Amino acid sequence: MTAPATISPFATATSMLEALRAREISATELLELHLERIDRYNPRLNAIVIPNTEAARARAKAFDSGAIAGALAGLPLTIKDCIVVGGLRSTAGLAEMAENVCPADGAVAERVLGAGGVLIGKTNVPPNAGDWQSNNPVFGRTLNPWDHDRSPGGSTGGGGAAVAAGLTPLEFGSDIGGSIRVPAAFNGIYGHRPSDSVVPRSGHNPGAPLPMPGGIMGVQGPLARSPHDLELALDVIAGPEPDEPFWRLELPKARHETLASFRVAIMPPIDFAPVDAEILAAQERVVAALRTAGATVTTTAPQAASEMHGYHELYLSLLYTVLFGTLTDEQRAGAVAEFQDSGDIFGGASVRGTQATAGDFQGMLVQRAQWRAKYAAFFREYDILLAPTAIIPAFPHTDAPFQDRRLDVNGEQVRYNRMVVYPGLATLVGHGATAFPAGLSRAGLPLGLQAIGPYCEDRTPLRFAQLLEREIGGFTPPPGYGA
């Protein structure tokens, strides 16, 4: 048996699984390698906040004795606090839910564990999974391994930091406002937001513990150090809700197997969401690599410039209808007053979502369907829509009130909530999107982009990211976290 030190903690999940199956390392040794790193680095990072150590050791031992099998068998991994795991807490970062223990696995956790995954623990989130930081009154703040003074993103920020720091090779998170993709960008890793309906929405807190057919936009998906690992993970969790056994999902093959065959659209600038110049420079380097590889590259989008404002308004209105639908009248009035006092050009859209009636919601769904039709037409001509993931690299931690926060983008003070604009390109219409690293800034911070693909053709942006990794490189470990 090879000593565990021969496997890098930054190896891909796929290579770790290959080593396990070849008996080059035992699951117990691989787990202990990660637990040693967690003991060393997690007290400072505060990424994994709900440990599952003894259960993980028992499960690793079961793999070594031949008692468990599956696509993830023997692999240490983590799951976001919000995703329901039986017997473990799910706090959603809320003090009032600090001791909330889930009685049974949700659909995603059930599939991950059913595939033999060894759950190390659960990772940190912001309150109600509602921020691009991961700081809450239950567990405190998660730090970014690239710069401890900066955010690791949110809401799957603990998971993003843990993957980048080599504490886990695979994380399962969730995304409605960039909560997988932004942590991927801020930590220099990969993340995939699945298309709506590809992965069950149930078993998520906040959200519905049971399947809810009317749910929209919020999805659960993986983060990893390799785009190949993303596809491995997606194959494990994809499929219908557990109470819908009468249909099955067969994701189409990727449209192309070479970059030269891809038709790539580059998202034009959005006037109300300026993007950091270094992110745009990274995007230009990717475009140059694509053209060198023979891809067809065009600057265009499903939305005309004159339509982008309305598109984002619809997204915000639907977002707040979904997120604030269970508020009390008093809470809703407080949120409305905050939006009205913000002076934001999108304050009215947020108010409409917060106050939406059933009829309003139905009307928004009709508008959403119209945009989905436009996207379907667009993706008959193009394979990928390439865009930034966030408007800025990882920003400094802040405790300022949400509406008062500003980000320095190229010397301009930009409202914090503009962080949601680029994630919303895929979220509103429910398309899959793969976030990938695209180099480092002059300050040594990761720069990230996203490849948005056709609806339910998730293998296409995943394959695009896999092929692009060969051209531009992929994950690199953050300084100070060993090899």
CATH code at position 247:
3.90.1300.10
- Residue 387: inside a domain, yes or no? yes
**Among 155, 197, 202, 441, the one annotated catalytic:** 155
253 is catalytic: no
pLDDT for the residue numbered 2 = 37
456 CB-side CA count, 13 A = 12
- Whole-model pTM: value is 0.97
Report residue 388 CA to chain centroid gap: 14
Q: Which of the following is catalytic: 179, 197, 226, 317?
A: 179
Does residue 177 form part of some domain? yes
Domain encompassing residue 278: 4-300+382-472
Q: What is the pLDDT, as a whole number, of residue 483?
A: 66
Catalytic residue among 26, 80, 134, 441: 80
Tell me, yes or no, whether 372 lies in a domain. Answer: no
61 is catalytic: no
pLDDT by 10s per residue, the chain, length 483: 334 448 999 999 999 999 999 999 999 999 999 999 999 999 999 999 999 999 999 999 999 999 999 999 999 999 999 999 999 999 999 999 999 999 999 999 999 999 999 999 999 999 999 999 999 999 999 999 999 999 999 999 999 999 999 999 999 999 999 999 999 999 999 999 999 999 999 999 998 767 776 789 999 999 999 999 999 999 999 999 988 878 889 999 999 999 999 999 999 999 999 999 999 999 999 999 999 999 999 999 999 999 999 999 999 999 999 888 777 888 888 888 888 888 999 999 999 999 999 999 999 999 999 999 999 999 999 999 999 999 999 999 999 999 999 999 999 999 999 999 999 999 999 999 999 999 999 999 999 999 999 999 999 999 999 999 999 999 999 999 986
What is the count of structural domains for the chain? 1
Residue 151 a catalytic site member: no
Is 377 contained in some domain? no
Task: Return d(Cα 233, Cα 459) in angstroms, integer.
Answer: 12
Q: Is 321 a domain residue? A: no
Residues 6 or more apart whose CB falls under 8 angstroms from that of 15 comprise 7
Q: Tell me whether residue 350 is in a domain.
A: no
428 within domain boundaries: yes
For residue 211, tell me if it sits in a domain. Answer: yes
In this prediction, residue 1 carries a pLDDT of: 36
